Each structure stands twice: as structure tokens, then as C-alpha cells.
Structure 1
Amino acid sequence: MHATSGIDFLGFNVRRYGDGKLLIRPSKEAVNRIRKRLSDEVCALRGAPPLAVIARLSPIIRGWTAYYRTVVSSHTFHTVEHHLWRVLYQWARRRHRNKPWRWVSARYYGKFNPARNDRWVFGDQSTGIYLHRFSWTAIVRHQMVIGTASPDNPALTAYWAHRHARRSHRHSHPRTIIRTPAPPMQLA
């Protein structure tokens, strides 16, 4: 197999294009699998309230985007997100067959996330809980280690400290902070 035709490995497609670029993307099979899974999950939740749909789809979306966030997947995120929008809109229209489309869109879609200027976010109007979108996941590239830098080299301690601090800052999130209790004081 030649690199210009590409190979699929672990859900990724690795392919060298004519201009010499090597791109790693989510494979077509992986995209079709997630589209089918999202459709099946929403189909299974036909009579369920929107909170149940959000609770079922949120871990799937967050897990899939976390797995593919390190490669060239922004366009793929948008296409899968468009598919999910269509499926959820059909779910909402099926739930309220006699209501006009403006009423359905006003009930299930809105500006739920105040940090984003996006009014087509699926959510629950009564609680304000919304579904995370694929395109909100930031693409994070792997940072190469400079030259022959080794963590064992004492002269490069500052380099490795800066690298680890940047990585830990990127992965910190207010909801994931685990507070450990202070050790008990011992009296001498």
C-alpha cells in the first residue's frame, strides 16, 4: 500500500497528498460509525424529554471529540455536527407534529451558552442545560520536543518545567479540580 492512497489505522486515516503534505484525519468508517450511533441513540429516545437526550449524547460527543482533537478534524467536526443537528431537529419535529417550525426551534434551540454567540444550541429551556457541540472542541496539536532535550538533563530543568506547566494549564478545568484535604496537624 502506498502512502498517497492512505491507510486506516485505529479510526484515523493517514495519507500523503500530492503537494507533499501528510495529513491524519478521522477515517470515513469512524465518521460513519459516529453518525450511525448518534442517529440510533436519538431514534431510541423518541419519546424522551430533552434532558434525557442531552444526558445520553453528551458523553458520546465529548469522548469522540477528545479522541480526534489532536488531528486534522475541524471540518469533520462540522459535518458530524450538521448531521446531529438534522437528527435532533427531526426528533423535535416528531415530538410536536402540529406545531410550526419556529415554535419548535424556539423551544429546543437558543443561546444557551453565554460565552458563545450561537443561537442554534440544542438545550432545555426550563433548566438551561445544553448539548455540547462538536465544533466547540479546540484542536490541540502535539508539541515536539526540541532537539535532543532529555528530562534527565539538569541543564534543561526550566524547559521541562515550562513544558509541563503549559500542559497542565491546558488540561485544567474548573469542574475537574480535585481538592484534597489538608493533612492533620500534629502536635509535638
Structure 2
Amino acid sequence: MGKYHSKQGFKTIITPSKEKQKIHYDRVASIIDDHKAAPQMALISRLNPVITGWSNYSTVVSKVAYSDLDNLMYLKLRAWSKHRHPKKYWGWVSNKYWQTIGDNNWVFATKQEGKNPMRLRSHAETPIVRYVKVRSEASPYDGNLIYWSSRMGRHPNATRRVATLLKLQKGKCTHCGMHFREEDVLEIDHITPKSLGGKDEYKNLQILHRHCHDEKTTGDGSAVKYT
């Protein structure tokens, strides 16, 4: 765990400990060593759940750690592949075990004609999740509908539709771009008015300030409000 300095002060950055990274890599390396004579497909099948499980469990700010692990794993797999074909040059070996998939030219994957290749997952493809700390004094029952709906998409005093839209909009009015305040009067608007064929579905709904809704309604020619 570390910190970096910003204009707003210090921010805590959580990363997997070096000890946990080493334990995980040692397990990956052991699996590769145990599969020296096994087909590539068997090795990938054994490694993928280990990589996926550890990466999902460690989804904190870990891009550097994930990249380091992938580099170490590549070196281990390179040694594994060269051990299997000691008399072949590296170009032949790499072409046999690494494939181009999408924009990535170095995917450890099987080569199967007419079939989707079985590919090894990388640690770095796991999405990074940054968690926002709940304010220490906050409670879903403190009446702060805007805060909790924007954060969690639900609130005991808000309809599901209102809470969901507040979360999708991250607590901002899509007309003026300003954050909603507790004292603001909010209204649900159909982006494309129902009178013009708009549907009553989330992708066609937004929450606006009442005055923003009035401006929008005047502009789109719709005289009907939906709340």
C-alpha cells in the first residue's frame, strides 16, 4: 500500500503486497513446471482459473503489479516452450505457441484451424476497480437521497427509477451539467418525447432540475412532463 501526492493532498493507493505477488507467481511457475510434457491446451486450462481467481480477488490499483506478473509469466512460458523444442529456432517456437488475437501479437494460445483458439488470460486484462470511501457520517437513512442514490443506485426513500437514473448520471443534471443538491426539485424527462415516438425505457430517460426540464421541454416542443 502506498500514497501519492496531489493538489488535494495525499491519496492512498492500494496494491497487492510483494509477498502475495510472489506466492501467486510461485504457484503459476509450479504449474508450468509440472506441465513440461503436457499439451499447451492442458497448461492453459490449468493456469486460467488460477490467474482469473487471483486477479479478481486482487482488483485494486494494480496495473503495475499485473504487468510485472505477466512479464514474469511470459519469461517462464518462453523457457517452457524452448525446453520442448531445444533444436528449433525461436521464431519457429514463438509462432507455434503465441498467436495474434485482435491488437495483441503475443497471446499464448493454441493454433486450431477453423476453431477459436484457447488462449491464456493475462493479469493485466482484469479491470481495475477504484473504490470511493463512504463518508464516515453517511447512512442510507440520513435523508440524503442524492448521495446514496448516486453512489448505490438505490435509496429507501426513492423510487427505483429515480435512484437508478441518479446513479447512471453520477448525480448530475444532464441538461446543465451541475450536481444535484438535496434541496433541488428533480423531474424525470423523456429525452425523445413520447409524443414524438420516444419510449418509456432507461436509455430514453434522464433526471433534470425542474427549471432545466422546463427549458428542455420548450426546446423540444413537448408540453407534457413526466414525473
TM over 0.5: yes
Counterpart of 2:35 in structure 1 is 45
Give the deviation of 1:148 after TM superposition. Answer: 5.3
Amino acid at match of 1:158: R
Question: 137-146 or 76-85, which moves further after superposition?
Answer: 137-146
**SS of residue paired to 1:135:** helix
Q: Which segments of 5 or more consecutive residues in structure 1 lack a partner in the other structure?
A: 1-12, 167-188
What are the residue-to-residue correspondences of 1:1-188 with 2, within 5 Å?
13=1, 15-17=2-4, 20-69=10-59, 71-111=60-100, 113=101, 116-126=102-112, 128-142=117-131, 147=147, 151-154=155-158, 157-162=160-165
Identity of aligned residues (%): 29
C-alpha distance in 1 between matches for 2:147 and 2:73: 43
Q: Which runs of 5+ in 2 are unaligned?
A: 135-145, 170-227
Cα distance change of structure 1 residues 164 and 66 upon mapping to structure 2, 3 Å threshold: farther
C-alpha distance in structure 2 between counterparts of 1:163 and 1:122, whole Å: 42
Deviations 1:70-117 (A, max 9, x none): x11011110000011011111000011111111000000011x3xx31
How many residue pairs get matched? 148
2:108 and 2:119 in contact (8 A); partners too: yes
Amino acid paired to 2:97: Y
| Structure number with higher relative contact order (C-alpha < 8 Å, ≥ 6 residues apart) | 1
Distance 2:124 2:74 in 1: 12
The verdict on how the C-alpha distance between 1:140 and 1:88 changes in structure 2, with shifts beyond 3 A counting, is same
TM-score (norm 1): 0.70
- Asked if the contact 2:61–2:130 (Cα under 8 Å) also holds between the matched residues in 1, the reply is no
- Whether contact under 8 Å (2:97, 2:108) holds in the other structure is yes
Q: Displaced runs of 4+ in structure 1, greater than 6 A?
A: 163-166
Distance 1:163 1:42, change over 3 A: farther
Structure-2 separation of matches of 1:109 and 1:82: 14
Task: State the distance in 1 between where 2:49 and 2:162 align.
Answer: 35
TM-score, structure 2 normalization? 0.58
Shift in Å at residue 163 of structure 1?
Answer: 7.0
Secondary structure at the aligned position of 1:102 is classed as helix
